[in-house]
Amino acid sequence: MRQELLIEFLCEEIPAKLHKKAILDSRLTFENILESYGATFSEIETYISPRRITIRVKYLVQKTKDLFEEKRGPRINAPEKAINGFLKTNNKRKEDLIEKDGYFYLNIHTLGTETKEIIPEIIEDFIKGMPWPKSMRWYLENQKTLSAFWIRPIRSILCIYDEDPISAFIESVGLTTCDYTFGHRFLSSESIKVFDFEDYAYKLKKERVMLDYYKKRSFVDKELVQTAAGKGLCVQIDEDLLDEVAGLVEFPFIHLGSINEKFMILPHEVLSTSMRAHQKYFTLLYPDSNIAPFFGTVTNVPTTSVMSDGLDRVLRARLSDAMFFYKEDTYATLEAFTQRLSSIVFHEKLGSISQKVDRMMSIADTKEEHRAAALCKADLLTQMVGEFPELQGIMGGIYAKVQDEDPEVSVAIREHYKPLGANDSLPNSYTGARIAFFDKLDTLVGFIGIGVYPTGSKDPFALRRTGFSIVRLLCDFEKNILEDESLDWYIKTLIESYSEQGIALDHNTSEEVKNFIIERLRAYMTEKMNIDSNIAESIMKSCSIEEIDYRKIITKAKNLDELSKVKDFDIIKNALKRVKGIIGEKPSKIAINSIKFEDENMNNLLLSILRSIKKRDTEEFLDSVIETSKSVLDACDKVLINDPNKNIKEKNIAVLSAFINLINETFGDV
């Protein structure tokens, strides 16, 4: 006997976008429930398809463990009635009470029970505890009441433990557990009796149900690529769409359809977005990356000629709409659209999109930046963006190109929403990066200025993501997007622009925005760069909030993280600690290039520091710093640094001060 528990909840279609999260949530929820009962097991596997969630528990021991719990009761000075009630509830006597921290406690010992007996309770707890983002109730005819909340109505619950069916009435959904399930909704009709998980998975596969979501997703990906390759085509990468279609079908069938040539004049992005958003179709490309007049789709049943015609016909209708929107939009200029931006509210306390554009223009520098800032939000009023909001910026860039705007302006408009998150690419153009920075900083300044902050998991205006994107633009873009100004200047100029528009922001806004961005910088280093939190903290301590150089901080963090993994890292730390203990951290005004020593130890140290400075940007730098640190420790042992001779003392301090600067400028506060 394998002591295996198999449970399947067969229900109406579970929304495809919830599948990945549900796999993890169901496993964690079931695991917590089993542990709360003292059940011992080796592993839990969870599976999901459009109509079922399946849970497999391996080696679930037949009897639960004894549970020992210290249970807190009423306060010591509580009324006698409350204390007696606590005792009665737990079947204990007064002498069992323990006094601690002003409360009465009881040591509760719960004897283990047969696992088979508590399975119905476990199922009830799981139904009530599964954290669906949205759920519903349905009417239970046999009980004349409503069910418990669940993502969709449950129609059957299969339950087998140790190869024996469990028959139990689950009151919350009005169903009795059974030992059978059903296959594909359309390609299978008979019920399927099963004995264990292997039998269950094998029979479902025969009845056209792929149980493993990730294997199904991989199968779809592979089959799409191979089918497209048969026509000499490639599939445009779309991981999110792959996730979704894998959750839409119980068994995937791949089909290639065609696009009418008259629609091929539409921009690539319009064709691709229309197919993806409305029909869940994959875009196919020629080997040169140009879009092909074909699409790939995944169906839940084999495609017939009638279905194929229907798939093509529905797409034609969608693309006809897109063609209409595109032509209508190009009849007007982007400048004409900008004149109506005052009708779109950015935020009730922060004015209109038109006012936001004016503020962005107030910190723009070149004529290209001014033009891009002026036009970047114009496409919000186009019909195409009204139909496909995800094309914001992209359509603006396309229309700007059609209307012969400067190529630099067109590209900047297209890129100014980037990056949209931690994994999104940065703008490619400098002007695009600058406009993206203006847009995001204006948003952050405005919301923080009116007291809107993310709280816990709630961040309705995506301010954390906005701050994170600003950090990426400041740190990762190939050029310094701040140019000759400081971040502080941009923030204060935006605050003044808000004020000129009659929008009053809190007087602490500037400091609050800088602190918020610095917190995002910490998160960026630890979450994105995987830098140890202690290293990130030491780097942050080494810089002033007023003079913070974001690009230099990231370089220091990378250097220090790399250095901390070197086996001789302690030598550098000890050398720095020793030097600071002797001379403190007061800078020396003496240039070490002009120093000459009679003492051999100090002369060797001076030469070693100069070599390390010269190798700062080479692969040999770390080894050089370690050797220099050894020379520092050696000199501190053999030389009287604070020599009675003032001239010698000042030279000694100057050299050791140069060592401190070398470490701090490269690694921060080691």
Q: What is the pLDDT of residues 360-410, one digit of tens each?
A: 999 999 999 999 999 999 999 999 999 999 999 999 999 999 999 999 999
Are 562 and 535 in contact, with CB atoms under 8 Å apart?
no
The pLDDT of residue 412 is above 70: yes
- If DSSP codes are grouped into helix, strand and coil, which group holds residue 614? helix
Query: What single letter denotes the amino acid at residue 296?
Result: G
Q: pLDDT tens-digit profile of 25-52?
A: 999 999 999 998 889 999 999 999 999 9
Q: pLDDT tens-digit profile of 573-602?
A: 788 888 888 887 666 767 777 787 878 888
Reading phi first (left if > 0) and then psi (alpha if -120 to 50, else beta), residue 139 is in beta
Write down the pLDDT at residue 156.
Answer: 97
- The β-bridge partners of 108 are 69
- The β-bridge partners of 165 are 160
The pLDDT of residue 545 is above 60: no
The pLDDT of residue 184 is above 80: yes
Residues in the chain: 670
Band (pLDDT 50/70/90 cuts) for residue 217 is very high
The pLDDT of residue 542 is above 70: no
Q: What is the DSSP string of 180-200?
A: EEE--TTT--SEEE-SSHHHH
Q: What values do phi and psi take at 264, rounded to 5?
A: -70, -5
Q: What values do phi and psi take at 289, rounded to 5?
A: 80, 5
How far apart CA 80 and CA 83 sit, in angstroms, is 5
The pLDDT of residue 252 is above 70: yes
Could you give the angle at the alpha carbon of 426 between the alpha carbons of 434 and 268, nearest 5°? 105
Are 423 and 528 in contact, with CB atoms under 8 Å apart?
no
| DSSP state letter for 237 | P
Percent of the chain residues topping a pLDDT of 70? 96
Flag the least confident range among 87-96, 126-135, 199-208, 292-301: 87-96
Based on the number of CB atoms within 10 Å of its own CB, is 544 exposed (0-12), middle (13-18) or buried (19 or more)? Answer: exposed
Mean pLDDT in residue range 83-102: 84
Mean pLDDT in residue range 74-81: 87
- If DSSP codes are grouped into helix, strand and coil, which group holds residue 145? strand
Mean pLDDT in residue range 446-450: 96
Based on the number of CB atoms within 10 Å of its own CB, is 429 exposed (0-12), middle (13-18) or buried (19 or more)? Answer: buried
Could you give the angle at the alpha carbon of 485 between the alpha carbons of 480 and 490, nearest 5°? 100
How far apart CA 630 and CA 624 sit, in angstroms, is 10
Based on the number of CB atoms within 10 Å of its own CB, is 169 exposed (0-12), middle (13-18) or buried (19 or more)? Answer: exposed
How far apart CA 310 and CA 353 sit, in angstroms, is 42
Write down the pLDDT at residue 330.
Answer: 94
The pLDDT of residue 421 is above 80: no
What is the separation of C-alpha 620 from the centre of its chain, rounded to a whole number of angstroms?
Answer: 36
Q: pLDDT tens-digit profile of 80-91?
A: 888 888 888 888
Based on the number of CB atoms within 10 Å of its own CB, is 563 exposed (0-12), middle (13-18) or buried (19 or more)? Answer: buried
How far apart CA 336 and CA 634 sit, in angstroms, is 74
> What stretch of H or E contains 9?
strand 5-11
Residues 6+ apart with CB under 8 A from 85: none
Write down the pLDDT at residue 90.
Answer: 80
Map 424-493 to HEC letters.
CCCCCCHHHHHHHHHHHHHHHHHHHHCCCCCECCECCCCHHHHHHHHHHHHHHCCCCCCCCCCHHHHHHH
Mean pLDDT in residue range 223-247: 95
The pLDDT of residue 513 is above 70: yes
Write down the pLDDT at residue 401.
Answer: 95
Residues 6+ apart with CB under 8 A from 339: none
| DSSP state letter for 542 | T
Write down the pLDDT at residue 57.
Answer: 96
Band (pLDDT 50/70/90 cuts) for residue 145 is very high
Write down the pLDDT at residue 566.
Answer: 66
Give the pTM: 0.77
What is the separation of C-alpha 522 from the centre of its chain, rounded to a whole number of angstroms?
Answer: 16
Nearest alpha carbon to residue 248 among 272, 223, 281, 207: 281
The pLDDT of residue 611 is above 90: no
Band (pLDDT 50/70/90 cuts) for residue 345 is very high
Mean pLDDT in residue range 4-20: 96
Nearest alpha carbon to residue 43 among 55, 58, 29: 58
Write down the pLDDT at residue 546.
Answer: 56
Flag the least confident range among 17-26, 63-72, 276-285, 493-502: 63-72
Write down the pLDDT at residue 609.
Answer: 84
Are 386 and 367 in contact, with CB atoms under 8 Å apart?
no
Nearest alpha carbon to residue 507 among 492, 485, 488, 490: 492
Are 31 and 86 in contact, with CB atoms under 8 Å apart?
no
**600-614 vs 646-667: helix crossing angle, rounded to 10:** 30
Q: pLDDT tens-digit profile of 626-647?
A: 888 888 888 888 888 888 888 8
Q: pLDDT tens-digit profile of 255-301?
A: 999 999 999 999 999 999 999 998 999 999 999 999 999 999 999 99
Write down the pLDDT at residue 192.
Answer: 96
Write down the pLDDT at residue 543.
Answer: 61
Q: What is the mean pLDDT of the chain?
A: 90
Nearest alpha carbon to residue 140 among 130, 129, 153: 153
The pLDDT of residue 562 is above 90: no
How far apart CA 32 and CA 646 sit, in angstroms, is 71
Reading phi first (left if > 0) and then psi (alpha if -120 to 50, else beta), residue 462 is in left
Long-range contacts of 140-144 (CB under 8 A, 24+ apart): 140/173, 140/174, 141/174, 142/174, 143/171, 143/174
Band (pLDDT 50/70/90 cuts) for residue 458 is confident
